Amino acid sequence: QVQLVESGGGLVQPGGSLRLSCVASGSISSITAMGWYRQAPGKQRELVAQITSGGTRNYADSVEDRFTVSRDNAKNTVYLQMNSLKPKDTAVYYCNVNGISGIVRAFNTWGQGTQVAVSS
């Protein structure tokens, strides 16, 4: 079993910043990729940013140059630094981690979600 605990969401004014954190724990042998998705009301869940074990980063076009994803491998933690936030960034943000648990069991685990609201 792999568990994720997210933190860092909240209410911020347009142009402000927030930092999300997600810690993975449990029976983890290796992590392939860690990332963040978001889901706004009435919309599908979408990829925001992802970082692989090799350090390759992928971003949604809408957040590139404003958001930065990073990870601390020793702590099994992924971060999302969000700057210049806009009202359209308002959504529930979900952490996602995939990798290998135990000897050969693949896992793909989601966090419980953290609300980010951007409003004046």
Q: What percent of the chain has pLDDT over 70?
A: 100
Report CA-CA distances (Å) from 3 to 6, 26, 97: 10, 6, 9
Q: What is the pLDDT of residues 35-77, one digit of tens each?
A: 999 999 999 999 999 999 999 999 999 999 999 999 999 999 9
pLDDT at 19 over 90: yes
Residue with tokens 């957040």, as numbered in its chain: 63
d(CA 33, CA 98): 6
For the CA atoms of 46, 78, 93, 80, what is the dihedral angle to 10 degrees? -90
Q: Which two tokens stand for residue 118?
A: 């951007």
Helix (H, G, I), strand (E, B) or coil at 74: helix
pLDDT for 10: 97
